[in-house]
Structure 1
Amino acid sequence: MSALLLSSLATACGEDDANETANITDNNGTTGGATSNATTGDTTPTSNTTTGGTTGGTTGETTTGPPPPPPPMRLTVTLDPALPIYRPGLKPLPVATIYDAAGELMESEQVAWSIEPPEAAQALENGRWEMLAEGDLVITGCTTTPGADGDPVCGSRDILVDAGAPRITLSSPQPGAELLAEESQSIVVSGTVTDTNGELTLFVNGDEVELSDAGEFTTEVTPVFGINHIELTATDGRQPIAAETAVDVLWSRDYLPVPEPTEANNTTRALLDGGIELRLGQQFLDDGEPLRIGAEDTEVTARDLAGIVELLLMELDITSQIPNPLADSDEISLAVTSIDVIDPVVSVDVVDGGLELFIRLSNLQVNTEGFFNFEGQELNLNGGIRASAAAYSRVRVEKANPEQELTVEIETLELAIEDAEGYFVSSEANAVFALAESFLRDLLEDTLVDALESSFLDAIPETLIDVIGELEQILANQQFDLDIDLLPPVALKLDGRLNRLETHLRSDLTAILDAEVSTDQPEVISDSRGIALSVAAGTAPPFFSSSRIQLGARMALINGLLHTLWRAGLFEIDAYTILPENLSFLLQSATLSARMPPLVTAARPDQSDRSLLVTLGQVEFTADFGLQQDVYGMLIRTSADVVFEDNALVLSINAEPNLVIWPISTTGDTVMFEPEALKILIEAEVWPLLADALAENLSIPLPAFDLGSLGDLAPSLSNFAPTLVEARPITIREGYLIFDGGLEGSVPVGGF
């Protein structure tokens, strides 16, 4: 990975090295081998001829040297270093390769060089040419020895000299800007593109944008809620590599302001009125299915509030409410040994200001023992009576504002015996009991009514307080301790308080909760409009039309948690200590800084197959090399879901992020790290820390509905603990996380 990260550094250094590593030139001004880079050549190879002769007709003999070399036929030109584009100031070495007619290399030919236009470059003493001006140049080399046609043999090479890719200067929007919809219906992108050579073209998010003669531009981008990433690309028709930059801005219809720190409380906080709504629907209160216990059932399960009351009535110790013995005299002795409630049926309806309960007790068994003297005859009262009864109760459930205490109390309780018959050992006792106005009947019925009323007055409010009162504590004083490498430990607190209860006739009982998010750390970042809101404050959650229990948590609650962590400096990271050793020695420091808070939004189908998108925009990585400082921008996106786990809504983040990295600025000629190389580093070393900071222990607890206190009324229910069950996966609807589920609690049948 280090080789890739240092590729740009090697390229930058290689240009100067190339200027110092020219081919070695011999004393005759030609290069070794079959090439020549001499500026001039006037040395011509010659043949040595030896002549000898005789006089007076005597024959003479002449001796000649080797034949002259063949003339040059072809010349090719290359440059060292060989680059597609040369910057002004570079000093390439022209190299000529010369061949004769037979294709053989000619190693000793000298070459004369020229350049066009002449003012675009200058020849140096070491055979190199320094590039002086941008544009299209042609360098030509010609042999000093004529070719076969008597003219020098020449070759040339086109040279493109360009100072670099265009420079994009962005005036608007500012990096990390928080834009408000009513102020910015669109995102205005403006600035200038400059270049000293070539024909400029600019693209903004892939669309070509018109440039003025001075290179100025202005265009508009249609925003969406959340972090908008804007990419700008400029070309000059010369450089194969385009100039690229980008900017991230946040756009929202509204922002929820956050409290400013005070001397009394300088920690970071956020307040969300109505951040959570919990709807107890009619199906949760009463699904219309009474509890029934089959002969082979080993446990019984309650799935609604009515079922819980039915379970309680079956196990209620009503006998303890009876002042035994009922009578103890010479005329009558009567005691109730037990009262059994078999298959009670409870109906619960929501009414204005509370609940109505209709209780049907079709099978009451009152077991007795004793005697009764009737007209001189002692009647055996061992046995008991079987009765049916009906009860109506109206329960006031009220909390109109945050200051008012939650009230759950019985306003009305009416109970009547509908029918009763004796099953005493004595048939005469049964006959006496059957008399409409008998003392025995009145005594037993009045006792039963008093016992049931006393039991109901205790049991019904206790059950409802356990269920509804849980809403008061659902989010109270929740704390998440974040201990992440390189970051100071942070305690994130979520405190939810019941604001009010609303009743909707025959529909639901809804609890509206306010939430306060805070940390134990002072504010580090203060320049923020607040928490971005995808829907206006006060918008009701889009609950499903039919459900047992639903919880709607505003996306602003999760974003409030992340916004609070951001303001506390959790995303200001000293990245130097996590760099590999083969990179850290190059740097004096390296930091990561998030210019805007992380944001969770609903994912579009073209973005992810998961329900949420977590985005960190305008994260700036600053690398200080001592002689040079580079700043890069990053956009980090990852998909996520909110899952139901351990009775809470838990943020589950994808392990693989999508990173976009671009250079923002450098104090050198070019940035030292290629963006692709930096991406590898961030994915391997930095992203795991950021993912932990985003999701470590972040969750929203749901009601536990701990009904353990019912054990005081019915000991067999001491361990009865109904739990929430998920009816469908967590759904994202119109700026809300919607949990849709039910309640289930089981107890062994053995106690019945």
Structure 2
Amino acid sequence: MRRPLSTLLIALLPLALGSLTLTACGADEGPNTTGQDTDVETDAGDEPDVEPQPAEWEAPAEVRVSVTPTRQAYAVGSRITPTATVYDGLNRRISPAVRWLVTPAEFVEKDGDENRWFVRQEGPVTFKACVDREDGEAICGSRITMVDAGPPTVTLESPLPGAQLLAAEHPTIEVSGQVTDPNPIVSVHVNGQAIELDEDGHFSTTFEPRVGLNAVNVTAFDGLHDREGYAEANFIWAPAYHPADVDGSVTLDDGLILNLGQNFFDDSQPLEILSEAQVATDDLADILYLVLRYLDLTSQLPDPVVDSSALTLRILDVAVNEPRVEIDVTDEGLQLFAQIPNLVATTAGGLEFNDQSLSLDGELSASLAVFAEISVAKTSAEAPFEVELERFELALEQATPNFVSPEVNAVFELANSALRTSLESIILESVNLSFIDSLPALLLDVFTSLEGAISEQSFELDLGTGQPVALNFNGQISQLAPVYREGLDGIVQARLSTGVAPLFAESPGVPLLSAPTSALPYFQSSRLQIGLNTALVNGIFHSLWNAGLLTMDISEMIPAPFNTLVQAAQIDGKLPPLVAPPQNGEPYDLMIYLGQLEIEMTWPDRVDRFGARIKVGANMGLSGGEIGITLAEEPDIHMWLISSTMDEPQLTADMLEQLMYDQLWPEIEGAFGEGLSFAVPAPDLGALGEFSPALADLQLTLQQSQPLATRQGFLMVDATFRGELWLP
């Protein structure tokens, strides 16, 4: 049976009304916590007991609100245009008059007479459109939009940027602060770990620091802005600090340590013969071998050596062939044994014997043995080296005449002959005087040259902006003590100064990354070891930082076109650079940290401040008698925005990071990588020519024998020395 059309529409009406919702004007809408535009509506209620009349089908039944442009969140200053679409009971669009209500009213500013508004403050803004029905009821729809000027503001109250903390006073670090934002906060993390906020946005947690440079960062996300709120603080945490003097200078009693091992003096190996005309030395015994081999004894003898009526004797030449030298380290110093198996003296002259005139032309061969004990000590930085010949014994083991006159040979063989006594005395006296004069003096030259190599050095470092900083380095051996059969141990007092008034007088001083120890971290069986205290390297960095090396104007580094806008650009080093051993498997001898650098840029309409933290690997090695630093090609640079007086900075952190790579880092790399090299305490044998002219051209070089190692807070360099000599 066919039903009337009106009956069919009445039957379908409850189904249609079930999909409609009505909003009453003045309804209380809460904020949108999802960050999406939201229709805020209320249900029209249960189905009416009385079926609606057809006249009500054309009355407003629903208001839908949309906004243009459509965004997840709107920046402060954006202009928003809301649109209301009204539908009747049959879901048809109709066009009745619409009233607009925007709340909070103080968050917006109407754009003239149009239904457009500028949003002026952060937070949720509700655009509500209402239509009045004939029965006096209002039908409303609304849309909540989120206004977000930027990410949440993170205020880090503890730790403070640039703090230098003592481990005993701060076994753990309290990380506390506050997160603020008109919009709800979705998440907050401290160094990647989620934490909770209290009702006022405060947070607090603990951080386990490690020795050296530490970084604490806090991120906060509001679910709206595409960037998280961020705050970071860099600080140094150390078990102890070595204070600087009032003038900013730093003095370290154990800036360097030095070991001249038993193998430095004698490795029990013979001289290396490179060719018939060239030899190489590896220890002091080899050098003394050369001293004896080419000792100029002839020039030390008078000519003639004897001139009397019965005897006239000249020694034309003295040759020392194939001597043997052994040196041992004792509790007091050095013990030396030398043997000259074949000393040949070329003679001339005459002898009156039994009314005969006999010629003394010819040669006399002898073998000698030398034993010497030498004490070595230095008791303070101001005291001189003490090198004393405590015991000296010289024995003529045998003498063989080879004169042209058989009669003279026969006379010499007589046990008590005056000729034999005179010649033996002359030989013994000449060798004795040469050793007494040359041996202590030679050793004293070796030891004093060790100190001379490290005294009064100066480095000039220039970052290309402002005034260069000259660093003065003065090293003095404060202790040199023998250890039986092991070598001589030395401790070097080092003083660093710049002559510039300190900028950071409140700093506790140079961070010490390890506790002091009385045991010296030497390798076994080495020739020459130099230990560079990491406190000395950090003392150098501290002195340069305190003199203002990392406080500079970088306006000229700002690239075009921003260089025409920037009014000032300044870098401030909140912390001194710091070296520490690798901790995360980095393939370097040590790591250098620069943090916290802060860059402030002043523009016509804003002031922006950024933080920067730089980490770079470095290798240290021995070359050309100096310990030099080689930096890795690419540093790790992390930069973040600290504050801006506008909603957004003029330059982004990424842009400034690239600026650091392109402009500032090459200057830092050049200053620290090329400007810092340390002359090592190495023996200087340039005075050998005074004892034996043939040795004046002995070329001595130092060579690193194994990779640098960090041991008990010292950067240990294990070295050998090698001397090469072209024979006359």
Which bin holds the TM-score, normalised by the shorter protein? 0.7 to 0.9
Cα displacement (A) at 1:471 = 2.2
Q: Residues 238-249 of structure 1 correspond to what in structure 2 (within 5 A)?
A: 238-249=224-235
* Cα pair distance change 1:169/1:539, threshold 3 Å: farther
Q: CA RMSD in A?
A: 3.2
Q: Residues 357-372 of structure 1 correspond to what in structure 2 (within 5 A)?
A: 357-372=336-351
The aligned counterpart of 2:263 is 283
* Cα pair distance change 1:208/1:133, threshold 3 Å: closer
Task: Determine if the alignment matches structure 1 residue 643 to structure 2 residue 631.
Answer: no
Equivalent residue of 1:656, what SS?
A: coil
Task: Determine if the alignment matches structure 1 residue 587 to structure 2 residue 575.
Answer: no
Q: Deviations over 1:692-718 (max 9, x none)?
A: 343342111023533222222211222
Q: Residues 54-69 of structure 1 correspond to what in structure 2 (within 5 A)?
A: none
Equivalent residue of 1:451, what SS?
A: helix
Q: Deviations over 1:364-403 (max 9, x none)?
A: 1122223445555555432222221111111122211223
Q: Deviations over 1:7-48 (max 9, x none)?
A: xxxxxxxxxxxxxxxxxxxxxxxxxxxxxxxxxxxxxxxxxx
Contact 2:103 2:126 in 1 (8 A): no
Contact 2:84 2:129 in 1 (8 A): no
Contact 1:315 1:716 in 2 (8 A): yes
The aligned counterpart of 2:190 is 204
Give TM-score, length-normalised by structure 2.
Answer: 0.82
* Cα pair distance change 1:652/1:88, threshold 3 Å: closer
Task: Determine if the alignment matches structure 1 residue 495 to structure 2 residue 474.
Answer: yes
Contact 1:273 1:515 in 2 (8 A): yes
Equivalent residue of 1:455, what SS?
A: helix
Task: Determine if the alignment matches structure 1 residue 339 to structure 2 residue 318.
Answer: yes
Match of 1:127 among 95, 109, 115: 115
Cα displacement (A) at 1:176 = 0.3
Equivalent residue of 1:712, what SS?
A: helix
Amino acid at match of 2:206: E
Q: Residues 155-166 of structure 1 correspond to what in structure 2 (within 5 A)?
A: 159-162=145-148, 164-166=150-152
Cα displacement (A) at 1:86 = 2.2
Cα displacement (A) at 1:83 = 2.6
Q: Residues 54-133 of structure 1 correspond to what in structure 2 (within 5 A)?
A: 79-87=67-75, 90-94=78-82, 125-129=113-117
Match of 1:563 among 532, 537, 542: 542
Give TM-score, length-normalised by structure 1.
Answer: 0.80
The aligned counterpart of 2:723 is 745
The aligned counterpart of 2:329 is 350
Q: Deviations over 1:490-518 (max 9, x none)?
A: 32211112212111111111222111111
Paired with 2:336 and 2:172, the residues of 1 have a C-alpha distance of: 56
* Cα pair distance change 1:623/1:313, threshold 3 Å: same
* Cα pair distance change 1:78/1:312, threshold 3 Å: farther
The aligned counterpart of 1:33 is none
* Residues 121-130 or 312-321, more deviating: 121-130
Task: Determine if the alignment matches structure 1 residue 400 to structure 2 residue 374.
Answer: no
Amino acid at match of 1:640: A
The aligned counterpart of 2:441 is 462
Paired with 2:100 and 2:407, the residues of 1 have a C-alpha distance of: 138
Match of 2:656 among 653, 660, 678: 678
The aligned counterpart of 2:599 is 621
Cα displacement (A) at 1:628 = 2.3
Equivalent residue of 2:233, what SS?
A: strand
The aligned counterpart of 1:271 is 251
The aligned counterpart of 2:529 is 550
Cα displacement (A) at 1:210 = 3.2
Paired with 1:537 and 1:193, the residues of 2 have a C-alpha distance of: 42
The aligned counterpart of 2:57 is none
Contact 2:153 2:229 in 1 (8 A): yes
Task: Determine if the alignment matches structure 1 residue 174 to structure 2 residue 152.
Answer: no
Paired with 2:592 and 2:98, the residues of 1 have a C-alpha distance of: 61
Cα displacement (A) at 1:570 = 1.5
Cα displacement (A) at 1:283 = 0.6
Paired with 2:486 and 2:633, the residues of 1 have a C-alpha distance of: 42
Paired with 1:691 and 1:112, the residues of 2 have a C-alpha distance of: 71
The aligned counterpart of 2:33 is none
Amino acid at match of 1:665: S
Structure 2, unpaired ranges of 5+: 1-62, 87-92, 134-139
The aligned counterpart of 2:59 is none
The aligned counterpart of 2:239 is 253
Contact 2:84 2:98 in 1 (8 A): no
* Cα pair distance change 1:79/1:281, threshold 3 Å: same
Paired with 1:193 and 1:243, the residues of 2 have a C-alpha distance of: 9
Equivalent residue of 2:299, what SS?
A: helix
The aligned counterpart of 1:665 is 643
* Cα pair distance change 1:176/1:292, threshold 3 Å: closer
The aligned counterpart of 1:415 is 394
Task: Determine if the alignment matches structure 1 residue 430 to structure 2 residue 379.
Answer: no
Equivalent residue of 1:664, what SS?
A: strand
Amino acid at match of 1:520: G
Contact 2:255 2:533 in 1 (8 A): yes
Equivalent residue of 1:520, what SS?
A: coil
Equivalent residue of 2:675, what SS?
A: coil
The aligned counterpart of 2:174 is 188
Match of 2:219 among 213, 219, 233: 233
Cα displacement (A) at 1:189 = 0.9
* Cα pair distance change 1:119/1:259, threshold 3 Å: closer
The aligned counterpart of 2:432 is 453
Equivalent residue of 2:659, what SS?
A: helix
Cα displacement (A) at 1:449 = 0.8
The aligned counterpart of 1:13 is none
The aligned counterpart of 1:43 is none
Contact 1:291 1:343 in 2 (8 A): no
The aligned counterpart of 2:707 is 729
Task: Determine if the alignment matches structure 1 residue 486 to structure 2 residue 474.
Answer: no
Paired with 2:129 and 2:405, the residues of 1 have a C-alpha distance of: 136
The aligned counterpart of 1:25 is none
Paired with 1:288 and 1:78, the residues of 2 have a C-alpha distance of: 95
Contact 2:293 2:323 in 1 (8 A): yes
Task: Determine if the alignment matches structure 1 residue 611 to structure 2 residue 597.
Answer: no
* Residues 221-230 or 665-674, more deviating: 665-674
Equivalent residue of 1:288, what SS?
A: coil
Amino acid at match of 1:299: Q
Contact 2:451 2:681 in 1 (8 A): no
Paired with 1:133 and 1:451, the residues of 2 have a C-alpha distance of: 100
Match of 2:306 among 321, 327, 341: 327
Task: Determine if the alignment matches structure 1 residue 692 to structure 2 residue 670.
Answer: yes
* Cα pair distance change 1:368/1:93, threshold 3 Å: same
The aligned counterpart of 1:702 is 680
Contact 2:122 2:146 in 1 (8 A): no
Q: Deviations over 1:272-296 (max 9, x none)?
A: 11211121111111111232658x5
* Cα pair distance change 1:574/1:540, threshold 3 Å: farther
Equivalent residue of 1:469, what SS?
A: helix
Equivalent residue of 2:500, what SS?
A: strand
Cα displacement (A) at 1:312 = 0.8
Paired with 1:338 and 1:140, the residues of 2 have a C-alpha distance of: 123
Amino acid at match of 2:314: A
Paired with 1:685 and 1:484, the residues of 2 have a C-alpha distance of: 11
Structure 1, unpaired ranges of 5+: 1-74, 99-107, 145-153, 262-267
Cα displacement (A) at 1:574 = 1.0
Contact 1:201 1:211 in 2 (8 A): no
